[in-house]
């Protein structure tokens, strides 16, 4: 069937509002998880393709059925460190399942099993969608990413969303490659070769950044262990030797309790629990003020 531009406009108009709602809900889920559960997301962004872009794709790929296009809606999730991709892969797949999405496909581009990355991705996917195979794709260009196509049926509409998971450096490469090579037809051989070299350099940089992260994590673990062994060294965020003696008695315990309340109050959504914690906060603040009056 010959697809006209008006056909694309009509089809997209029929599903655009629903796609936008799904993208917004998925993005809010990811942002909430980053802010409240420390899921290692650096940034997420989404878009719906324009009718012009879809129409050109039908010509370029010789598409005759608009319902076969899987990337009308796209969501990209980025992390700083490659090791965090596997935690994010688990988080995303679990939430697709919990939210009632079907997983149409899971494609892994240029992830080899040298460090068991592909094996890890496959094992996690099997926990939630055992019926869906993980497809490993090697691209000479060096493109590296994890792609999911998820589907939700709303009435007669089949809503397909493409989600891409990659590191920030992988995204930089992808954006550059997309700008200079994608959709251009014949690509200059020098551009192809240069992008292959750039891909290897970025992969090495990703590995280096991950290595620096591991060093930092080990240092923090050692510092935390040392602090726990040596006991409290500061009171009210001041060094112990400049704090009045009266604060070194039972006030350290009081402040620790207060600090725990402050950290926990945001995690409670029940109004009654929040009210109770806020009342505890007020009692501890009152204690601090009484101590301060004794000092002055």
Mean of the per-residue pLDDT values of the chain: 78
For 157-199, the pLDDT digits (tens) are: 889 999 999 998 888 877 776 666 655 555 666 666 666 666 6
CA 32: distance to chain centroid? 10
Give residue 3's pLDDT.
93
Q: Is residue 146 part of a domain?
A: yes
Neighbours of 219 (CB within 10 A): 10
DSSP 84: H
Q: Is residue 274 part of a domain?
A: yes
Q: How many domains does the chain have?
A: 2
Could you give the CA distance from residue 162 to residue 76 in angstroms, rounded to a whole number? 8
Give residue 156's pLDDT.
80
231 is written with which tokens? 């006991």
Question: Same structural domain for residues 17 and 154?
Answer: yes
Q: How confident is the model at residue 133 (pLDDT cuts 50, 70, 90)?
A: very high
Give residue 6's pLDDT.
95
Whether pLDDT at 235 is above 50: no
Give residue 136's pLDDT.
92
Give residue 169's pLDDT.
83
Q: What is the mean pLDDT of residues 257-276?
A: 60
Q: Is residue 90 part of a domain?
A: yes
Which of 188, 221, 253 is the last residue in one of the domains? 188
Task: Tell me if 115 sits within 8 A of 150, measured CB to CB.
Answer: no
More confident residue, 256 or 170: 170
- 252 is in which domain, residue-wise? 234-295
Provide the residue count of the chain: 296
Q: What is the mean pLDDT of residues 16-40?
A: 94
Element spanning 152, H or E: strand 145-154
Question: Same structural domain for residues 172 and 244?
Answer: no
For 268-279, the pLDDT digits (tens) are: 556 666 667 667
Question: Same structural domain for residues 241 and 171?
Answer: no
């Amino acid at each position: 069937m010959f697809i006209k531009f008006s056909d694309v406009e009509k089809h997209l108009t029929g599903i655009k509002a629903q796609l936008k709602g799904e993208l917004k809900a998925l993005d809010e889920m990811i942002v909430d998880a980053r802010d409240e559960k420390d899921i290692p997301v650096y940034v997420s962004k989404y878009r719906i393709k324009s009718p012009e872009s879809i129409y050109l794709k039908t010509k370029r790929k010789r598409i005759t059925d608009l319902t076969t296009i899987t990337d009308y809606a796209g969501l990209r999730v980025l992390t700083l460190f490659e090791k965090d991709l596997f935690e994010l892969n688990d988080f995303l797949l679990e939430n697709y399942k919990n939210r009632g999405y079907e997983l149409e496909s899971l494609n892994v581009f240029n992830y080899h099993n040298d460090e068991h990355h592909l094996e890890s991705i496959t094992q996690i996917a099997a926990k939630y969608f055992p019926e869906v195979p993980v497809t490993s794709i090697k691209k000479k260009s060096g493109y590296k990413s994890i792609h999911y196509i998820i589907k939700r049926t709303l009435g007669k509409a089949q809503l397909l969303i493409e989600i891409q998971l990659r590191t920030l450096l992988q995204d930089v490469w992808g954006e550059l490659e997309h700008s200079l090579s994608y959709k251009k037809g014949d690509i200059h051989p020098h551009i192809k070769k240069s992008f292959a070299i750039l891909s290897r350099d970025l992969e090495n940089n990703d590995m280096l950044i991950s290595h620096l992260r591991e060093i930092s994590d080990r240092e923090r673990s050692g510092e935390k262990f040392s602090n726990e062994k040596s006991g409290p060294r500061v009171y009210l965020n001041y060094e112990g030797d400049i704090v009045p003696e009266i604060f070194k008695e039972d006030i350290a315990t009081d402040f620790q309790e207060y600090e725990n309340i402050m950290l926990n109050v945001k995690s409670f959504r029940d109004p009654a629990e929040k009210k109770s914690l806020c009342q505890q906060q007020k009692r501890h603040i009152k204690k601090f003020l009484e101590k301060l009056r004794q000092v002055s």
